[in-house]
Chains A and B, each alone.
Chain A
Amino acid sequence: QKEVEQDPGPLSVPEGAIVSLNCTYSNSAFQYFMWYRQYSRKGPELLMYTYSSGNKEDGRFTAQVDKSSKYISLFIRDSQPSDSATYLCAMSAPGGGNKLTFGTGTQLKVEL
């Protein structure tokens, strides 16, 4: 079993739709949870960061962490064509050099 599981997609939605992206994990030591966005042929860039359980909102983006279920989500409201990218979840445990464990990424396409 992989330490972090993420549906690879691709996911295609119409402009304006609400998008839900998810990851599950098995390592209960993970405390820090991140979502990275990666455009084609570019490096990943941090989109959202959450410590432990709870919700965090930033504009059209909401990140949720449910540590009891080992499940994290990213919601995108009013999706735009510019949101078309691969979304990678990542997580880390305290100590050990901030090493991140990544999901495989979900490819999202928002169509006009």
Chain B
Amino acid sequence: NAGVTQTPKFRILKIGQSMTLQCAQDMNHNYMYWYRQDPGMGLKLIYYSVGAGITDKGEVPNGYNVSRSTTEDFPLRLELAAPSQTSVYFCASSYPHGGTSGRAGETQYFGPGTRLLVL
């Protein structure tokens, strides 16, 4: 059971380039999330998905796109990289409320992160 995996671990982009951050989970979780973490700013939600084919914006969606064609995968797309997108990106997944553990507000499991530098 690998949990939540993210690739790449680190990437340098030039302004205006595009890239896709990959995220996969093998826990059969319905819900998946993308966050960015900037120094001293905590985690900000970019996009989330409650199931295959369903995505919604979080707090800071501008400059990003997502898709969810399978339960396992939730890629994050940067179309025109900007220096403001320099950050550490985390993907997470969870069961829905009251999932198999019976607990509402279920635990989110995080991947190891992708460090992105835009120059």
Contacts and interface: CB of A to CB of B under 8 A. Distances in A.
A joins B in a complex: yes
B50 A88 contact: no
Contact of A104 (B31, B41, B45, B107): B41
Interface residues of A, number: 27
Interface size class for chain B? 20 to 34
B96 A102 contact: no
B43 A42 contact: no
A85 B25 CA distance: 25
Contacts of B111: 43
Contact of B113 (A8, A42, A95): A42
A31 to B, nearest CB: 7
Contacts of B96: 98
B105 A32 contact: yes
B110 A44 contact: yes
A94 interface: yes
Nearest to A4: B42
Given A51-B103, A51-B104, A104-B40, A99 B110 contact: no
A53 B90 CA distance: 29
Given A42-B113, A43-B90, A43-B113, A97 B48 contact: yes
A75 interface: no
B42 A103 contact: yes
A48 B92 CA distance: 17
Contact of A43 (B31, B56, B104, B112): B112
B108 A8 contact: no
B73 interface: no
B46 to A, nearest CB: 11
B61 interface: no
B112 A42 contact: yes
A103 to B, nearest CB: 6
Interface of A: 4, 6, 8, 31-32, 34, 41-46, 49, 51, 88, 90, 92, 94-95, 97-100, 102-105
Given A32-B105, A105-B42, 13 more contacts: A4-B42, A8-B40, A42-B112, A43-B110, A44-B90, A49-B107, A51-B105, A92-B105, A97-B31, A98-B108, A100-B45, A100-B108, A104-B40
